[in-house]
Amino acid sequence: MIRLNKYIAQSGVCSRRKAEQFITDKEVKINGQTVFEQGIMVDETKDIVSVQGKPITLVKKKMYIMLNKPEGYVTTSIEQFDRPCVIDLIKEDERVFAIGRLDMETEGLLLLTNDGDFANRLMHPSEKIKKVYIAKVTGTITEQTIKQLKKGVDIDGYTTAPAIVEKISKDELQITIHEGKNRQVRKMCTAVGLNVTHLKRIKIGNLELGNLKLGKYKLIKSYEIKRLF
């Protein structure tokens, strides 16, 4: 027997946290009956579980993917507005989902997997996995601007954690954060009077985008995954 949220996560649908949201939204069924409680146990040998009307099964082979996401693609697994989705770029037999998110206008390093436990750990705030971005901006980058970003700025009533910030050209900043608030880097720049015109993530933990071409992906070895932590 296995808890329902863990079963969903280990089926390559999403992380445990997202699985709990599916249950809350009444989008999960066991043997044709809608589930209303989080702590239900599943008998993986005979129960039939479906999420949003689609039957799921436990993953046979864990997969970890590094994608150079192009602009114009969303990271959601379920796309309601017919926008291009990063999942469309992945040509593998195993079903995977994006870990975290990059907004539609941002390009760069995105990790995908069918390992819900790994995704949950990677996104958990306690791990403080560093993410590095290159932001091209309009506005004047001053020493005070950089000092403010390093210290932390207010975005939507939340003060960001200290960041590592380096000016790499007259209109570009390299910003390293370990949080994952929605559109965080863009909002941080806006808070100090800068407008981001192009944003690219180049590194997550010790995984670097390198020369991976835009729109292309590669499989990550399990030992590389372990080194993230």
> Taking the CB of residue 78, how many other CB atoms lie within 10 A of it?
15
Helices (H) and strands (E) in the chain, counts: 6, 17
The active-site residue, picked from 43, 93, 103, 156, is 103
User: In which element (H, E) is residue 98 found?
Assistant: strand 97-98
Which value, in Å, is the radius of gyration of the alpha carbons in the chain?
A: 19
Per-residue pLDDT at 82 exceeds 80: no
Residue for token pair 């001053």: 142
pLDDT in tens, 86-98: 999 999 888 888 9
Q: What is the CATH number of domain 2-56?
A: 3.10.290.10
Rounded Cα distance between 169 and 167, Å, is 6
State the span(s) of the chain assigned CATH 3.30.70.580: 64-124+209-227
Amino acid identity of residue 122, one-letter, is L
CATH class assigned to 64-124+209-227: alpha beta
State the span(s) of the chain assigned CATH 3.30.70.1560: 130-204
Q: Reply yes or no on whether 103 is catalytic.
A: yes
What is the reported pLDDT for 155? 93
State the span(s) of the chain assigned CATH 3.10.290.10: 2-56
The CATH number of domain 130-204, selected from 3.40.640.10, 3.30.70.1560, 1.20.120.530, 3.40.50.2300: 3.30.70.1560
pLDDT in tens, 152-206: 999 989 999 999 999 999 999 999 999 988 899 999 999 999 999 999 999 999 9
What is the reported pLDDT for 14? 83
Amino acid identity of residue 88, one-letter, is D
- Comparing 69 with 181, the larger pLDDT belongs to 69
Question: Which whole number is the average pLDDT over 121-148?
Answer: 93
What is the reported pLDDT for 80? 60
| Residues in CB range of 1: below 8 A, 6 or more apart | 41, 42, 43, 44
Q: What are phi and psi of 197, to 5 degrees?
A: -100, -20
pLDDT in tens, 9-42: 888 888 888 889 999 999 999 999 999 888 899 9
